[in-house]
Chains A and B, each alone.
Chain A
């Protein structure tokens, strides 16, 4: 077993931690900005909903399903040309954010949609009876009603992304997961592997705790 050089580890660990946060942060942002409207679109175009549209619903559903059912490692590789096109390179945390972001968008869209389906249909009907437009129902009834569930979903997503980001490390994405694999797995430095894994566990715990607190706070 190799001697562990702790100052080398620290020098690697801090940037790696930053990279993980960057990758997951970008992906989360994409999920909120694009996944939320996609989830709403999927819900309102579904059968008997406020903007029923079979064609749009099928297209959105197909997009989400394809991404969700493709193993992430394969998606990483398949998306390489697209990633290169968007960020100019296929290596580094920015590049890893692209496939991570796309998975996050699809994943979050489904979570949002699920939370919307749980909203009382009666309230939607009452809004329709008052003459509300679909847009007003989305902004005044659906999104506020699903808000606490959406925050909980965001927590689940963040935790999942931390795990996925380790896989992105395999194709040169960097991050804590990448560090764990490079030092711990390839160089047999078990203690480093344990430290990095502990770090990931702590990160996940922090996310979970913040997420649960926030979700409870907004519950009416």
Chain B
């Protein structure tokens, strides 16, 4: 659907320095998928996304949509192409002088739909996003979540093939974020719209993305299925990003006490459901003291971390560690004696 082919974008900033915002990025976005792009601030996520509808021209390489090089489009053909791409933003960007219904109608007017067609479709769209009763109010009277719903209705008004979301939930509280994400998922499934979604929250990725691309300093450092990237991050940067999501902070006195091993057990996929910890207790003469833990479900597959303290005789502890290593995704002792 979308093919980034060696895309680079550089800017000259106000001081006259050249900023390489995107550097030789190549990857594909598949038809019908929800792809997340994550990365720290300034990683070039927005800039890359904006090459998809030529809000930004690549200074090197090509962004190709449906086999068409977007950089070669201009004038009428560019306008026509843009009708087939929806976009939503962190700040919603609704026209404040138009009512909710008029905002949605605006997108259709731009695409040249007839008055009758617009009149028929706008209520449909508003009911899709659950705002039928707010059709005639102005955006300033809406909550953030409602504004984003209007923006979504507007973005899908012309039956786009692709929906671009630039931090669409970053200005919303967690509950509203969930609602908006659910709506995006519905749109993806119901209309088969391919969604590319920028976020800095792994939580968002976890909830609705199929695949995730990780960007750092303008480069693509990793791309893959969400569960793979979460459980087997290949790149140092991804690991750092993820560790913030799975930050399990223990009080210092526990990690400093080297007399009893602290073991970090990482579960991945189906293994999380096996009774591994209780097996250890039964098989070997050790006590297991659970200090911290978190299990997440990514695309229905469990992924989690457990931090335990093993108490017992040296031999038993070694055997337990062996058993854990063999039966979990990964096991490591985090307070190794130096």
Q: A122-B89, A125-B55 are in contact. Are A131 and B110 (CB under 8 A)?
A: yes
**In the complex, A128 has a CB within 8 A of chain B:** yes
Residues of B within 8 A of A (CB): 53, 55, 78-83, 85, 87, 89, 91, 93-98, 106-107, 109-111, 138, 140, 151, 154, 158, 164
Q: Are B87 and A131 in contact (CB under 8 A)?
A: no
Instruction: State whether B96 touches A129 (Cβ < 8 A).
Output: no
A219 CA to B80 CA, complexed, in Å: 33
Q: Which residues on the B side are within 8 Å of A133 (C-beta)? A: 79
| A contact residues around B158 at 8 Å (CB) | 130
A211 to chain B, nearest CB (A): 19
- The answer to whether B89 and A126 have CB atoms under 8 Å apart is yes
Q: How far is the CA of A125 from the CA of B87 in the complex (A)?
A: 10
Q: A91-143: which residues lie under 8 A (CB-CB) from chain B?
A: 120, 122-123, 125-133, 136, 140-141
A129-B46 Cα distance, complex, nearest whole Å: 14
B168 to chain A, nearest CB (A): 12
Please, how many angstroms separate the alpha-carbon atoms of A123 and B106 in the complex? 12
Contact of B97 among A127, A129, A145 (CB under 8 A): A145
B contact residues around A120 at 8 Å (CB): 91, 93, 96
Q: Is the CB of A129 within 8 A of B82?
A: yes
Tell me if A220 counts as interface (CB < 8 A to partner B). Answer: yes
Q: Does A17 contact B (CB under 8 A)?
A: no
B85 touches A129 (CB 8 A): yes
Closest A residue to B140 by CB, please name it.
A220
15 A-B interface contacts by CB (under 8 A): A122-B89, A122-B91, A123-B93, A126-B93, A127-B106, A128-B82, A130-B83, A130-B106, A130-B107, A136-B110, A140-B106, A144-B95, A145-B95, A145-B96, A147-B97
Partner of A132 from B53, B87, B94, B110 at Cβ < 8 Å: B110
CB distance from B210 to the nearest CB of A (A): 24
* Residues in B whose Cβ lies below 8 Å from that of A129: 53, 55, 82, 85, 87, 164
Q: Do residues B97 and A144 form an inter-chain contact, with CB atoms below 8 A? A: yes
- In the complex, which residue of chain B has the Cβ closest to the Cβ of A124? B93
Residues of the A chain whose Cβ atoms lie less than 8 Å from the Cβ of B164? 129
- Chain A residues whose CB sits within 8 angstroms of the CB of B93 once the complex forms: 120, 122-123, 125-126
Q: Are A220 and B106 in contact (CB under 8 A)?
A: no
* Interchain CA distance A126-B106 in the complex, whole Å: 11
Closest A residue to B94 using CB positions: A123
Q: How far is the CA of A133 from the CA of B111 in the complex (A)?
A: 10
- Chain A binding surface SS class: helix
Cβ contacts under 8 Å, B95 to chain A? 123, 127, 140-141, 144-145
Q: Across chains A and B, which 9 residue pairs bring their CB atoms closest together, nearest first? A: A131-B82, A126-B93, A144-B97, A131-B79, A122-B93, A129-B87, A132-B110, A131-B83, A123-B93
Residue on A with the closest CB to B97?
Answer: A144
The answer for the CA separation of A38 and B325 in the assembled complex, in Å, is 75
**Can you add 16 more A-B contacts, CB < 8 Å, to A131-B82, A220-B140?**
A122-B89, A123-B96, A126-B87, A126-B89, A126-B151, A127-B106, A128-B55, A129-B82, A130-B83, A130-B87, A130-B106, A130-B107, A130-B111, A136-B110, A141-B95, A144-B97
A132 to chain B, nearest CB (A): 5
> B89: shortest Cβ distance to chain A, in Å?
6
Point out which of B83, B96, B154, B164 has the most chain A C-beta atoms below 10 A from its C-beta: B96
Q: Please tell me if the beta carbons of B96 and A220 are within 8 angstroms of each other in the complex.
A: yes
CA distance A140 to B94 in the complex (A): 12
With both beta carbons as reference points, the residue of chain A lying nearest to B87 in the complex is identified as A129
Q: Which residues of chain A have C-beta atoms less than 8 A from B106's C-beta?
A: 127, 130, 140
In the complex formed, the residue of B with least CB distance to A143 is B97
- Report the Cα distance A126→B109, complex, angstroms: 14
Q: Give the complex CA separation of A122 and B96 in angstroms.
A: 12
The answer to whether A131 and B96 have CB atoms under 8 Å apart is: no
Residues of B within 8 A of A123 (CB): 93-96
Docked Cα-Cα span, A125 to B56, in Å, equals 11
How many Å lie between the Cα of A148 and that of B55 in the bound state?
29
Residues of A within 8 A of B80 (CB): 131
**What's the minimum C-beta distance from B147 to chain A, rounded to whole angstroms?**
12
Residues of A within 8 A of B151 (CB): 126
In contact, A220 and B89 (Cβ under 8 angstroms) = no
- Closest Cβ of chain A to B56, distance in Å, is 11
B81 nearest CB neighbor, chain A only: A131
Smallest CB gap from A132: residue in B:
B110
State A35–B107 Cα separation when bound (angstroms): 30
A145 to B80, CA, bound (A): 25
Count chain A CB atoms within 10 A of each CB in B81, B82, B138 and give the residue with the most: B82
Check A130–B97 contact: CB distance below 8 A: no
- Residues on A with C-beta less than 8 A from B53 are 129
Task: Please give, as numbers and ranges, the residues of chain B lying within 8 Å of A128 by CB-CB distance.
Answer: 55, 82
Give the chain B neighbours of A122 by CB distance below 8 A: 89, 91, 93
What are the residues of chain A within 8 A of B94 when measuring CB–CB?
123, 126
